[in-house]
Copies of this chain bind each other. A is one copy, B any other.
């Protein structure tokens, strides 16, 4: 029994670490695409840089919120007390 309790902690921590990594992939794909297209847009119309930058930050913040929330979930799993 104690056996499986502790194996549990192992799987939990493994999931927290891998999960944090996958969160970063999501944030990278999403914010990266937004930022990349914004760079292209500013280069094409430099006088619209302000407008593009404002919209870029608003939409990227949405991905940021979800990502930080997800990383905090992984952090809570990582900081869990597994000493039964």
Contacts from A to B (Cβ < 8 Å): 1-49, 51-71, 73-80, 82-84
Contacts and interface: CB of A to CB of B under 8 A. Distances in A.
A66 B71 contact: yes
A66 B45 CA distance: 30
Q: Is the interface of A mostly helix, strand, loop or mixed?
A: helix
Contacts of A17: 12, 15-20, 73-74, 77
Contacts of A27: 24, 26, 28, 30, 62-63, 66-67
Contacts of A52: 39, 42-43, 49, 55
A37 B78 CA distance: 36
A76 B77 CA distance: 11
